[in-house]
Amino acid sequence: MDISQAAHLFKRVAIPDAFLNKTAGRSWGGDIRIGDLTGDGTVDFLVYKALGGIHPCFLGAFSLEGEQLWSLGDKHLEINDADSKDTSLTTLSPDRPGPVAIYDIDADGQSEVICFWIDSEISKASKWDLSAVRLMILDGATGAVKHSVVSDELQQCNAYVNGELHIPNYVHQRLMIANLSGNEQPQDFVVKVGVNILAFNHKLELLWQHTDRWFRYPKHSAYIPAIGDFNDDGLDEVNGGNFGLGADGTVLWDKYLGDNIDSVLVETWDGKKRAILSGGGQVVNAEGNPVFSLGFDIVPHGQEIRHGNVLSDSTPNLVIRYNGHHPDLIVIDNAGEIRSRFRVDETPNNTGLEIIRWNGLGNPELIYSPAALYDGEGNKVVTFPDLPPPTGGKMGWYHCFPADVCGDAREEIVLYDPYSDTVYIYTPHPFNPDQYEGYQHTARQYNARLID
């Protein structure tokens, strides 16, 4: 029986017309990032598009009211395809949520945009390498370029390993904010491109580089590594699944830990920060040795794994999409026991798992899977009114940011379809605008998992 309740539609934010493209009569914006770009205490939005679906080439910033703040680049950029003399690379919605982040990287009290950026002056480019891509840091309020660097090490990154094209690993490009240098707040970031992991500081200086040797499907490392201090040294480490890296790039472990380690986390388990792996439902220590494992009989294909408090009597919990690109979830209590096993709604890619603090801290959290909220027992408890059907296709579903947008200590959900023209924000009932205390920007937003 469906016992779901409808959420309150807090805001429907139209992406400015100047930032939209049209394909076959449909207007679309692209991938979205959220953060307080202007410093006024409210959430803003950044939409971006990418040449060939990989290389960012257009950014458009807009407010919670849908007002245009600034834009950069060419939303109609087209460049000759270096891999085919008869075709061009055109500007598309990104193939996956990619290398764009909003964060105060230079600790000046104002947000910046950190991103890859295509050199639009070149005559041709390949979507399968970064030879024409630079790193940039932009002023969040104006879009003005604060730093721009051509990194030889970054430009050498590509989708090939020993002459073989490995597309799934390459398209999951990501920037992850990290504290590698011991500053009062994180001022570094880690870049993941294919088998390459690179670390940069806020001046865009390369700190170190690592090459992942676990790339062949299904014995690959995580598509998107996770950042966090899991050896208790006060600095962040990198959990890549089959590898772990210290803040200085030192290899902590480098070994095969199982098939389909698609998704990884750094979260608290058994009272300590641990590296958590979707493959086999594993939790490992700072040497990569398991301290807990469900096993591959229970988790044959760990597509996504999330950590939260979705049960009332046993926390923390793990929520795992355990059977690949299928709607099958399990919930694990803090003793490692399976507490529920259920199916969520089907979506084109069957990804998009998140944990939402819908009822505020100290209360059981809910599980987002496009596009509804489920409790720890698998009941669909929240639906979203006035949410149009998604556009469909592999990425054409509602991606989710958990965020305290209303500033009332509860998390809202920010939903967007990258092939659509509107952002939807839902909040729990009852909604009281007098409780608004400002948007809170945390690692749950600037290092959002998005998809795996």
The answer to whether 301 and 328 have CB atoms below 8 angstroms apart is: no
> DSSP letter at 404?
B
pLDDT at 429: 86
Length of the chain counted residue by residue: 452
With H, G, I as helix, E, B as strand and everything else as coil, classify residue 220: coil
Residue range 214-227: average pLDDT?
95
Helical (H) or strand (E) element with 51: strand 44-51
Residue 172 tokens, joined: 């999951």
What is d(CA 176, CA 82) in angstroms, rounded to the nearest whole number?
Answer: 29
Residue range 9-30: average pLDDT?
96
Residue range 439-445: average pLDDT?
93
Percent of the chain having pLDDT more than 90? 91
Residue 130 tokens, joined: 């970064």
Residue 1 has pLDDT above 60, yes or no: no
Q: At 282, is the pLDDT very low, low, confident or very high (cuts 50, 70, 90)?
A: very high
| Cβ contacts of 168-171, under 8 Å, gap ≥ 24 | 168/217, 168/223, 169/194, 169/195, 169/215, 169/220, 169/223, 170/128, 170/194, 171/53, 171/54, 171/95, 171/96, 171/98
pLDDT at 192: 97
Identify any residues that bridge with 27 across adjacent strands, giving them in sequence order.
22
What is d(CA 58, CA 303) in angstroms, rounded to the nearest whole number?
Answer: 30
| Mean pLDDT estimate for the chain | 95
pLDDT at 2: 53
Residue 39 tokens, joined: 């410093």
Residue 389 has pLDDT above 80, yes or no: yes
pLDDT tens, residue by residue, 405-416: 988 889 999 999
The answer to whether 394 and 411 have CB atoms below 8 angstroms apart is: no
Taking alpha carbons only, the member of 170, 169, 133 closest to residue 152 is 133
Residue range 344-372: average pLDDT?
95
pLDDT at 62: 98
What is d(CA 161, CA 166) in angstroms, rounded to the nearest whole number?
Answer: 7
Please name the amino acid found at residue 309: N
Residue range 239-243: average pLDDT?
98
What is d(CA 295, CA 282) in angstroms, rounded to the nearest whole number?
Answer: 8
The pTM of this model reads: 0.96
The label of the residue with tokens 């009281």 reads: 432
The answer to whether 358 and 364 have CB atoms below 8 angstroms apart is: no
The answer to whether 377 and 340 have CB atoms below 8 angstroms apart is: yes
